[in-house]
Structure 1
Amino acid sequence: MKILMVTTFYPPHNFGGDGIFVHRLTNMLARHGHTVHVAYNVDAYNLLSDNHLPADAPSDESNHPHVTTHPLSSGRLASVDMLAMHQLGMPLFKEGALRELLEDAHFDVVHFHNVSLMGAPRIFTYGKALKLCTMHEEWLVCPMHILWRYDREPCTQRTCLSCTIHGKRPPQWWRYTGAIERAGKHIDAFIAPSRFTSEIVRKNGFPFDVHYIPYFFPDDMLLPVDTTTPIDFLQGRDPSRPYFLFIGRLERIKGAQVLIDVFKRYPHADLLIAGRGTYEPELRRMANGMKNVFFTGFLSYAQLRLLYARALASIVPSICYETFGWITLESYANRTPVIVNDLGALPEVVNEGGGGFTYKNEADLIAAMDALRTQPGLRQRMGDQGYQSYLDHFTEQRHLEMYFGLMDQVRRPRV
């Protein structure tokens, strides 16, 4: 089968989990014998990152030989093109390249991802292949993409215009013209990685059915861990002390500041914060002088696996609506319990898999931490339950079954 992925971000030109997922899905499909092309917007990454490529990002050479990438750029007109796509909901200078790809009759499937800066929703109408669209964010119902209201709280009341202006973005008037309703009819199936996301977009007026296909953890990342290997990349920390683990982008919505505040009153274990982001300087300021909080910076997955293996648990304190929760799945695959904020999609995987705790307040969080710290058997049991949930629901094979099963379900005659 020949498949075209269309996404705003793709490694190495990538920020968050959506691009990583597209990379993993693309290469998994290629390993299983499919030919996969990926079209993405280089300009979006370059303009938002000031042309800085992270040294650790997967390079184009990390793609399977059956993968072909199409990095699209408008050159010196990139900023004009980006503004036009944002404001018009359609491509401008990239239209020719996108039409050529999307209308190529050799593609059996076109799979859209986060295409908010690829000329959506108009590009949904291009071509006649079977079309899928995965909601890695809530951008189809939210001009700020993640239902994060006034940059301070999860959205519980639609005030889109004032929220957009508060966020210093120009209003997208095409959202009020029925453009999504018209273009969405050309999509054969919308997909969400969690039941929560399916429900929250429906509550916010999304007019189409949404199918549930959760993320997966790649088979080739399941490698044995030698727990005797010394952790030599953490300086100044007593290795005999137990620790909890935060992994993720260091942005305010990810909630690491919540944990720093808790650990000011929790001397029984350390907090290791792995990642980087624009909020890192503020987090370091908050943790200044604390003897039980350590920043690791960016770590390779091999280094993270060493931390997972010894952690009492990973903690996911996001204060926004996550559409899935990558760290929960990664923890499960590494037999590490998780403690998650009871918000968005985070409790869904934990409650169904039994691999950890959810919390609603600081007292709940501390109780969960104490239980895992003082009961080694509980930590082992929850780790095993999480791993079994991974085997039952989040493997490559399970994802492939659901992915191609959905295609068979919605396939319609091409005209």
Structure 2
Amino acid sequence: MAGCLARATRRTAMAEPAATSAAGPGGGGGARMSRRLRFCMVTTFYPPYGFGGDAIYVQRLSRELAARGHEVDVVHSIEAYRALGGKAGERPAVVEEMDGRLRIHGLRSPAGLLWPLAVQQTGGPAFRARTLRALLDRDYDVIHYHNISLVGGPEVLNYGRAIKLYTMHEYWLVCPTHVLFRDGVEACPEPRCLTCILRQKRPPQLWRYTGKLARAARSVDLFLALSRFSLEMHRARGLEGRMEVLPTFVPRPSEELPPLTEAGAPENATPPPFFLFAGRLERLKGLHTLIPVFPRNIAAELWIAGEGSESAALRRLAADHPGVRFLGHVPEPRLSALMRAAVALVMPSLCYEASPLVVAEAYRQGTPVVARRLGGMAEAVEDAAGGLLYDKDEECPEALRRLLQSPGERRRFGESGRAAYERDLTPEAHLERYFQLIEEAGETRR
């Protein structure tokens, strides 16, 4: 597709200021994108209308691109956010940020909550098909899809003529429940989709049995996996197409963080050493396996930052454990303060995490990680040599004690994790590889 990047070259010759290089400070050599490009991000969720790491990633990427002079449109579904329990107030149809280089299109529908249900059931944009087609048919250089499950389904992959990327934040392309967590109980060892979704009381998606998704996927130039594990899992479950690994990123750490007394720690007291869990309180995150085995005779506490459907059940489970403390939702920058002060981040997830954003956030602060040896968690810890892994629940307490009692080892893990952050997880490192992959996708189309 010579036209996509050729259009960008012509546009740059006339446009000022020119976009800065993708390889900024600390980015090193390699692919550099000095042309101004036009991007469209298509995502179900986008802050403040979002619940998890995928929405945060899209926002961070969009802002990094706009900060470098590129033009970015974000298309997301406010109705989907409402359908899943989010509170959505009034907002203009298009919100502009960063001197107009970032435009956020929050889609609503006269059909209200019926729109996301129709998307889920038909695999197409339903009541907003004309709007989405008109947006994506604009003169973009890159259309980057993310979680499209409730904003347009697989059909929206056919819209537009630009180079098309798809980041696989989870497993929606190969799993109706998105997370490969069979029957809501265990990591899915093999497909058994219909009985699984029925047991989890979700409406079946008949379009998944028609080949619709496979046909639409042929419109995507490049699928981006957050980890090798995710790439291999998608391939094993039948996804076809070109795939590459592009790890997530997190912004550089702030040197000035609020004191722990503002992050949930008790006032007028030096907080004790603590291990940190940060994430949604849902069964697949495995916190119900950690609380019962967290040692009572250890000179440290377990601090839990987050909310979710399992909050009440987990509080009951920990009611007689004096070392467990629930902090509720902890926003930035207070979460970073907790992360930096923690002995380690603990990840007991029972599902195949693709590449947990919270691990990158821990490495950014030089904090080691203790995680279950499963999915992308194991890969993230092993590749960075940034912490300890365990297989069985009863092995976790020994890993916690080991880090608490070995400051030198804890420091080495933290330094190794921070080195991995600087090497692979900074905005500069991410964008350098991102633009390189865009160039390669453009070359493949020619």
TM-score (norm 2): 0.86
> Structure 2 vs 1, CA of residues 44 and 80 (structure 1 numbering), >3 Å: closer, same or farther?
same
Matched position secondary structure for 2:375:
coil
Say whether 1:231 aligns with 2:261: yes
Q: Is the 8 A contact 1:333 1:387 kept in 2?
A: yes
Per the alignment, residue 379 of structure 2 pairs with 348
Q: Deviations over 1:202-255 (max 9, x none)?
A: 111112232110001113xx111469x452432389635211111111111111
List aligned pairs for 1:313-392, cutoff 5 A.
Answer: 313-392=344-423
Compared with structure 1, are the counterparts of its residues 64 and 402 closer, same or farther at alpha carbon in structure 2 (3 Å cutoff)? farther
> How has the CA–CA distance of structure 1 residues 380 and 413 changed in structure 2, closer, same or farther, with 3 Å as cutoff?
closer
Specify the SS of the correspondent of 1:329: helix
- Contact 1:6–1:112 under 8 Å retained in 2: yes
Q: Does 1:88 align with 2:122?
A: yes
In the alignment, what sits opposite 1:5? Answer: 41
SS of aligned partner of 1:117: coil
Matches within 5 A, 1:396-407: 396-407=427-438
Question: 8 Å contact 1:316–1:338 — kept in the other structure?
Answer: yes
Mapped pair 1:69 → 2:104: yes
Check conservation: 1:6, 1:40, Cα contact below 8 A: yes
Tell me, yes or no, if structure 1 residue 20 matches structure 2 residue 56.
yes
User: Counterpart of 1:382 in 2: which secondary structure?
Assistant: helix
**Structure with greater contact order relative to length (CA < 8 Å, sep ≥ 6):** 2
Structure 2 match to 1:48: 84
Q: Secondary structure at the match of 2:299?
A: coil
Distance in 1 between residues matched to 2:205 and 2:55, nearest whole Å: 24
Where 2:112 maps in the other structure, the secondary structure is helix
Change in CA separation of 1:413 and 1:378 when aligned onto 2, cut-off 3 Å:
closer
**Mapped partners of 2:297, 2:233: distance in 1:** 35
* 1:69-113 alpha-carbon deviations (Å, 9 max, x no partner): 1111113x1232222211111111111110111111x21110000
AA aligned to 2:245 is Y
Contact residue 340 and residue 362 of structure 2 kept, 8 A: no
Higher mean C-alpha deviation, range 236-245 or range 152-161: 236-245
Distance of aligned partners of 1:51 and 1:307 in 2 relative to their CA distance in 1, 3 Å threshold: closer
How many residues of Structure 1 are paired with residues of Structure 2 in the alignment? 405
Name which of 81, 93, 97 aligns with 2:131. 97
**2:167 maps to which residue?**
134
**Aligned partner (choices 270, 274, 277) of residue 305 of structure 2:** 274
Deviation at 1:289, TM superposition (A): 2.6
Letter in 1 for 2:149: S
Measured against aligned partners, the alpha-carbon deviations of 1:10-33 in whole angstroms (never above 9, x if no partner) come to: 001001111011011111111111
Aligned-partner Cα distance in 1 for 2:150–2:186:
25
Partner deviation per Cα, 1:342-387 (whole Å, 9 max, x = no partner): 1110011110111111111134322221111111111111111110
Does the 8 Å contact 1:42/1:71 carry over to 2? Answer: yes
User: Does structure 1 residue 117 correspond to structure 2 residue 150?
Assistant: yes
Structure 1 equivalent of residue 32 of structure 2: none
> CA 1:370–1:3 in 2, change beyond 3 Å: closer, same or farther?
same
- One-letter amino acid of the structure 1 residue matched with residue 439 of structure 2: D
Q: Distance in 2 between matches of 1:150 and 1:64?
A: 47
Distance of aligned partners of 1:285 and 1:237 in 2 relative to their CA distance in 1, 3 Å threshold: farther
CA distance in 1, matches of 2:167, 2:434: 11
> Residues 7 and 372 from structure 1, CA distance in 2 versus in 1: closer, same or farther, beyond 3 angstroms?
same
The residue identity in structure 2 corresponding to 1:68 is R
Candidates 179, 185, 192, aligned match of 1:146: 179
Question: What RMSD in Å do the two structures reach over aligned CA positions?
Answer: 2.1
CA distance in 1, matches of 2:144, 2:257: 38
Among 191, 212, 215, which residue is 2:224 paired with? 191
Alpha-carbon spacing, 1:51–1:304, altered in 2? closer, same or farther (3 Å): closer
User: Which residue of the partner structure matches residue 14 of structure 2?
Assistant: none
1:273-292 superposed matches below 5 A: 273-292=304-323
Moved over 6 A (4+): 60-64
For 1:218, the equivalent position in structure 2 comes to 251
Deviation at 1:268, TM superposition (A): 3.0
User: How far apart, in 1, do the equivalents of 2:418 and 2:328 lie?
Assistant: 27
Which stretch of structure 1 is more off in the superposition, 235-244 or 170-179? 235-244
Q: Is the 8 A contact 2:78 2:88 kept in 1?
A: no
C-alpha distance in 2 between matches for 1:359 and 1:166: 29
Please say which of residues 289-298 and 238-247 is displaced more in the overlay: 238-247
CA displacement 1:247-275 (0-9 Å, x = unmatched): 11111111122221112545431000011
Partner of 2:7: none
Structure 2 contact 298–401 (Cα < 8 Å) conserved: no
Provide the secondary structure at the position in 2 that maps to 1:4: strand
In the alignment, is the contact (CA less than 8 A) between 2:225 and 2:243 conserved in 1?
A: yes
Distance change >3 Å, CA 20–CA 200, structure 1 → 2: same
Identity, % of aligned pairs? 40
What is the CA–CA distance in structure 2 between the aligned matches of 1:292 and 1:413, rounded to whole Å?
A: 56
Q: Quick check: 2:265–2:271 contact (8 Å CA) kept in 1?
A: no
- SS across alignment from 1:93: helix
> Is contact 1:30–1:64 with CA below 8 Å preserved after alignment?
no
CA separation of 1:127 and 1:226: change in aligned 2, threshold 3 A: closer
- Specify the SS of the correspondent of 2:42: strand
